[in-house]
């Protein structure tokens, strides 16, 4: 089982390397530009992807590898009072879009994380972002996004295996953090 798992993992890593580098680089360039202009990053997802959103926002505000100033990033998955109020008073699908409406500014970057690419609360947040003029980045699985026009920079991991998709999302997220530290703070 050990060897089979890592063989399968290695194949997905290889496909990510073959297919996502141009899209990842373009997204990273645009996000660095946004951060350099005083914009912010908002991460969001459900379940394990919610944990990834918190993890990556923390790496940016605190640090990944180098001691530096904080990078303005927020996980929209952490305010339980707000999430439960919106879910109870309105609808669960609005838990992220309500926050995008409240916080996001034109040019900010929304990073939605969804293995299926079909989570209505993430799609609704991207719609709200479109109205505000955000840059929408979507980490998904092989199926891509249910509404591709909402995503400026789609990053579909070429796999249908949820755990492998999530592993690649966190790897891509860590790589993005490295890019930010290197390009914004290395001197």
8 A C-beta contact, residue 47 and residue 116? no
Q: pLDDT for 104-163, tens place per residue?
A: 999 999 999 999 999 999 999 999 999 999 999 999 999 999 999 999 999 999 999 999
8 A C-beta contact, residue 143 and residue 158? no
Q: Please, where are the H alpha helices in 20-140?
A: 21-36, 48-61, 80-89, 97-103, 120-132
CA–CA separation, 24 and 155 (whole Å): 7
Q: Is the pTM for the entire model greater than 0.85? A: yes
Name the helix (H) or strand (E) containing 6.
helix 2-19
CA–CA separation, 50 and 83 (whole Å): 12
Q: pLDDT for 29-87, tens place per residue?
A: 999 999 999 999 999 999 999 999 999 999 999 999 999 999 999 999 999 999 999 99
Q: Can you read off the two tokens belonging to residue 33?
A: 């530009």
**Confidence band (pLDDT; 50, 70, 90) for 186?**
confident
- Of 173, 97, 91, nearest to 137 by C-alpha is 173
* Domains along the sequence of the chain with CATH: 2-185 (3.40.50.10490)
Q: Distances from the Cα of 175 to the Cαs of 81, 85, 100, in angstroms?
A: 32, 34, 25
Phi and psi at 157, nearest 5°, equal -65, 125
In the predicted model, is pLDDT for residue 1 greater than 80?
Answer: yes
């Amino acid at each position: 089982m050990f060897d089979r798992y890592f063989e399968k993992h290695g194949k997905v890593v290889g496909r990510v390397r073959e297919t996502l580098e141009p899209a990842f680089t373009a997204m990273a360039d645009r996000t660095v530009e946004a951060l350099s202009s005083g914009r912010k990053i908002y991460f969001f997802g459900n379940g394990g992807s919610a944990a990834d959103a918190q993890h990556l926002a923390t790496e940016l505000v605190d640090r990944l590898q180098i001691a530096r100033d904080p990078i303005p990033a927020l996980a929209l998955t952490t305010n339980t009072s707000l999430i439960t109020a919106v879910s109870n008073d309105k609808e669960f699908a609005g838990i992220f879009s309500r926050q995008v409406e409240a916080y996001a500014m034109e040019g900010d970057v929304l990073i939605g994380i969804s293995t299926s690419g079909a989570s209505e609360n993430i799609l609704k947040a991207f719609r709200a972002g479109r109205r505000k003029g955000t840059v929408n980045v979507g980490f998904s699985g092989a199926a891509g996004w249910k509404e591709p026009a909402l995503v400026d920079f789609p990053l579909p991991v070429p796999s249908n295996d949820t755990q492998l998709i999530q592993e690649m999302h966190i790897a891509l997220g860590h790589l993005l953090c490295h890019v930010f530290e290197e390009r914004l703070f290395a001197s």
